[in-house]
Amino acid sequence: MQQLSDQWDELTPETQKAARYVLENPQDVGVSTVREIAQSANVKPNTFVRMARQIGFEGYEDFRTPFRDAIRAGTASFPDRARWLQDIRKSGEIGELYAEMVGGAVRNIEETFANIRADDLQVAAKAIWESRQVFVLGVGVHNANARNFTHLAATGMTQFHAIPRPGSTAVDDLAWADQRDVLIAMTMKPYRTEVVEAVRIALQQGMTVIAISDSPASPISLRAHHHFNVCVDTPQFFPSSVSTIALLETLLSFVISIASGEIVERVDAFHRRRHELGMYEDDPS
């Protein structure tokens, strides 16, 4: 999958369709024949053969081997949770909806972090800590996620900015950013053009880009220096933000873990000041 992402630009438009299907549906590769997966991806079987050869494999069967090996290795099971969700469903329509939402949220987090390495988070966190400024870009619901991330970071650090700022545009907010700065960009299907454009501009200006999206083949993931894929499935009409928020909180914890000791002192001073200003209700105990 990493080879497909790295060599994306060398693939033809037709083999990119095959590659996109693999990146978004890796669980299908190990169990599907070339004809079956080609039908699902709406391409000819030979397209998958060409795709495999273009990235260094002898053919589709050779390409499929690591996916089959992963299936044989097995995955973690959660029987207690499964029984709990089954019991909830027995309580009628409301229970069915509750079980679907809870199951979807838990599954999104599990699948998101199952495909993210701690080493990759650490490298991205190091880039953030060593930067001059960090711009966190999200539009729509992800604007709230960006502002939540910068709000948490601001308790100990000052160089974080949620964009677009009120009355501005993302590309204007990045006007004076350069190779000393980092852009964390978020967008999910359907991908927002202003986020894709901001990533393009950021790369032109030499910024380090960290992408958070729902597919390794998303237009921001393919171009980013660091990219993390989150699962956003939900029974409802809106995409879930659960795994996105969890990933952002985890990334921030990695930044703090590699930061200098003064960060802990600054966070403590920040909250002590809030107590002194009466911003927190006294604990009754």
Counted residue by residue, the chain has a size of: 285
The label of the residue with tokens 């199952």 reads 114
Average pLDDT on 22-31 reads 86
Residue 283 is predicted with a pLDDT of: 61
Quick one: CATH architecture of 2-73?
Orthogonal Bundle (1.10)
What tokens appear for 112 in the block?
């998101």
How much is the pTM?
Answer: 0.75
Under a CB-based contact definition with an 8 Å cutoff, are residues 121 and 251 in contact?
Answer: yes
CA distance 127 to 181: 9
Percentage of the chain exceeding pLDDT 70:
88
Confidence band, pLDDT 50/70/90 cuts, at residue 226: very high
CA distance 40 to 27: 13
What tokens appear for 76 in the block?
């973690």
Confidence band, pLDDT 50/70/90 cuts, at residue 39: very high
Residues 95, 98, 104, 107, Cα dihedral to 10°: -80
CA distance 183 to 11: 27
pLDDT at 97 over 80: no
| Domain residue limits, the chain | 2-73, 79-114, 118-274
**Which class is 118-274 in CATH?**
alpha beta
